A and B are shown apart, each in its own frame.
Chain A
């Protein structure tokens, strides 16, 4: 077709709808600048979204770590304790019953009076004793029970300071306000300053945070009870949810006939994955505790409730993993004379297992962070003893955080953040494991 045959509008009169080459090229070039601009804008928007998300994440981490970092150090006071036999073991028989019921608080009081002899009225003496934690007496008892040879000697012992002193030492309490209207009694500030000046107050690493159960006293409180409770719960969950979920996924994907009923089941399972978790808590309360009579507040019931919650997630991930196994593997197995079950167990399942494991771990990570269903079944109680079995009452990490966040003591603020840090670390670990598993086993065929 000739290019030069044009009428006044520049179009070929004989072929309507066809734009001449130079006209179409001109139009394309005219639009190019705008298209590139749009592209740049879109990329900037995407980058901006990522930066915004990351900055929220950074803000979250910085706030939490900033708040909780202090909780990993605990203030101790060094006192020269005289293990006076007259107080501890008046009979001299060193009988364990006597030793365990002795008044170790008196030893502490005596040591404090040695340093501050002018605290001679009752009010002052009570204030002096309040410098040290109520748990310090039990510390001393533990030492003497372990080593009765201490009786009669004088040793410098680092004792746990009270939580208000701890907060003062860490600078969390504004001294000027405290002097006027704080709960620290007037002379305590002076005493604390003197202890600091004489090198008797130090911060040591707070191992008690990781080894103790919950407590009303912040300096004695730890997350070990909650951690063990969470661990038992996750154990119950994974032992129940994973086999059931895998079996259900295999049945639905491989054996179930494709009819209306199976569609209904599939829709319901997908919906269950999105049901608010507190409803599972209500279900657990009604069925497991009321109807079946299982013990309240135990990781067993918590695990059962979380199983119900995690099951749909595992089933969905399992089905996706099974679907992703290429049909060539199935055809090869069937062609060689394997039965349906053999094909699935020997060939399909091993190839789908990494995907199933990843889904399971992600489901577990979600279950670890759940608190609403556990509130319903009673894992919100204040429980001091660390659980020994899944049948002992306990609490869970997220619930512990919730309880501490509610507590009035100042020292619980940093402990709450520290517990959040521990929980986040566990979640991070689980997700990293899931990603590592997925990468390691991907594309093995």
Chain B
């Protein structure tokens, strides 16, 4: 298991967190399915300055399984939020709620208030296609379309009608590839198949494809887990650059990655949001015992 950024001498900072009863430190041996008030409160600050997405009281069921329990979270406009936690804790599920990809899963039931720039995402008359043009997604395993590189990037703008002419489309495609850091590598082979690129290039192609439709938020579900370290480093640099213009929520298994790229980090555990705070604080001075156990490697 990975070692944390700082040493193991940690102090519970009583003044910055707001638990209901500070003396009842939650024990790791108790399952969080016990409905205890002290367990329900999220440590840290779920709010963000200038949020682009706000989530309140999110609950997700897969059939009878209660996968996400009462999640509240904000995602700020120009920040990178890392969602960390052990396997099966619900972070990918939460991410998929934000662009309604859980709609494609038959057994999933989502409840709660989700708003993008103040508009309800799950309203009855909400347009899912429009939503997904404003919230883009990059998946764990790179999945470029089996078309040419140009077509991969051009498909989104084409179906959304973003380009009025071939020249405009060229601008969009070249610009997206440039911002994804891929243009130099593929400039002379834009008609080659997207699936013929290396893993890291494919993932950057997927990122280029996502930013070509000019979203406000980019969701990334473990984008580097299938890539080698060099490609990972390139993608992480890219994320850092993109964070100036887009809000990014990134699910990651690697705490190192979370520490490297994000400004805020949210720790999920068995379907609950345990703690949300500035990344530095989560890794050096976590408030909740479970967060501490996870970042120090005692658990997960």
> Residues on A close to B: CB < 8 A?
258, 328-339, 342, 346-347, 351, 444-445
Contacts and interface: CB of A to CB of B under 8 A. Distances in A.
B132 A334 contact: yes
B256 interface: no
Contacts of A337: 129-133, 156, 159-160, 213
Contacts of A346: 155, 159
Nearest to A335: B137
A334 B99 CA distance: 10
Interface of B: 99, 101, 104, 106, 129-133, 136-137, 139, 141, 143-146, 155-156, 159-160, 195, 206, 209-210, 213
A335 B139 contact: yes
Nearest to A328: B143
B146 A335 contact: no
Given A328-B139, A329-B143, A336 B132 contact: yes
B74 to A, nearest CB: 22
B144 A332 contact: yes
Given A335-B139, A336-B133, A336-B210, 5 more contacts: A332-B144, A335-B136, A336-B132, A338-B129, A347-B145
Contacts, number: 58
The winner among A329, A331, A335, A342 for most chain B CB atoms within 10 A is A335
Given A337-B129, A337-B159, A332 B145 contact: yes
A258 B106 contact: yes
Contacts of B131: 337
Contact of A329 (B132, B146, B213): B146
What DSSP secondary structure best describes chain B's contact surface? helix
23 contacts: A258-B106, A329-B143, A329-B146, A331-B101, A331-B104, A332-B139, A335-B99, A335-B136, A335-B137, A336-B132, A336-B133, A336-B136, A336-B159, A336-B209, A337-B130, A337-B160, A337-B213, A338-B129, A338-B155, A346-B159, A444-B146, A445-B146, A445-B195
Contacts of B159: 336-338, 342, 346
A161 B121 CA distance: 86
B33 to A, nearest CB: 30
Given A336-B156, A339-B129, A331 B143 contact: yes
Contacts of B132: 334-337
Nearest to A347: B145
Contact of B101 (A258, A334, A445): A334
Contacts of B133: 336-337
Contacts of B195: 445
Given A329-B143, A445-B146, A445-B195, A334 B155 contact: no
Contacts of A338: 129, 155, 159
A338 to B, nearest CB: 6
Q: What 7 pairs between A and B have smallest CB-CB spacing?
A: A337-B132, A337-B133, A328-B143, A335-B137, A445-B146, A332-B143, A336-B156
A347 B101 CA distance: 17
Contacts of A445: 146, 195
A181 B42 CA distance: 109
B206 A332 contact: yes
A311 to B, nearest CB: 28
